[in-house]
Amino acid sequence: MGALGIYLKSFLAWRAEKYAAVPPLDLLRYFTRWRAGFAPGSTPLGNQLPWLTFAAVDFLGRNVGPRDTVFEWGMGGSSLFLARRAAHVVSIEHESAWFEITRAEIARREIANWEGFLVAPDPLPTGKDLSPSDPAAYYSSQTHFAGNTFRDYASFIDRYPDRHFDIVLIDGRVRPSCVRHAIAKARRIIVIDNAERRHYHPSYRMLREAGWTPRALAGPAAHVWTRNPATP
């Protein structure tokens, strides 16, 4: 079997296993990029790419321009991707080791239009019973953050005037809470990663009530085997 035959066989098996509901032409556009994500040493940070669906990456690539200001919760390859395209990028990260790794990579590449801030969670008073789906709770669904609040993390964007950012990317912790604060600060676009998660659904109601129209950008993403919707 030639190289083309091997490629098509791999593509058909990949589609049948994971993406049978996604239009074939869309998948053909993403398959090579998806497969390249599993090459030795390939990482979102090293590739300077957001860890989002390819549809969401392409959407940002089309819509982030040289005059735009961008705010993101969650640092990494997205920080470099956005900084290469926008006028200014502000990134928030909760994990100190990852913050230092990303900051070092940005410094190594001499990127000057980026600001990063480390905002760790704080302990909650004992006895709190909070839901991660409640935007007012600032509570993470991840069990190792039990007993912590991300209020300072999610509200960091409040330091900026309303409608200050052209684009806001929400790809960190307590995403419903981040949406709550992002709505007043974004002018054009809000992107939420993993928008299929049930406890993120209250975010849709907040967005619609504020006049935003959700749009799904579902499909494959680099470095993952499962479907991974994102919604602007």
User: Model confidence over 90-129: pLDDT tens digits?
Assistant: 999 999 999 999 999 999 999 999 999 999 999 987 656 7
**Which residues lie below 8 Å from residue 168, measured CB to CB, with a gap of 6+?**
70, 71, 72, 157, 182, 185, 186, 189, 190, 191
Question: Confidence class of residue 214 from pLDDT cuts 50, 70 and 90?
Answer: confident
CATH classification of the domain holding 157: 3.40.50.150
Give the percent of the chain with pLDDT over 70.
86
Classify strands 186-193 and 230-231 as parallel, antiparallel or unpaired.
antiparallel
Is residue 76 domain-shared with residue 119, that is, in the same domain? yes
How many beta carbons lie within 10 A of that of residue 98, not counting itself? 15
Same domain, 59 and 32: no
- Cα torsion at 36, 37, 39, 42 (round to 10°)? 130
Structure tokens at 81: 């991707």
User: Quick one: 20 and 76 in the same domain?
Assistant: no
- Note whether 195 and 222 are same-domain residues: yes
Q: Identify whether the C-beta of residue 38 lies closer than 8 Å to the C-beta of residue 223.
A: yes
**Residues 169 and 149 both lie in one domain:** yes
User: Using alpha carbons only, how large is the chain's radius of gyration in Å?
Assistant: 18
Which tens digits make up the pLDDT trace of 162-185? 999 999 999 999 999 999 999 999
Domain of 15, in residue numbers = 1-36
Q: Are residues 118 and 203 in the same domain?
A: yes
Rounded to 10 degrees, the C-alpha dihedral 203/208/210/212 comes to 100
Please tell me whether residues 15 and 122 are part of one structural domain.
no
- Give the number of domains in the chain: 2
Q: How do 69-73 and 88-93 pair as beta strands?
A: parallel
Same domain, 29 and 47: no
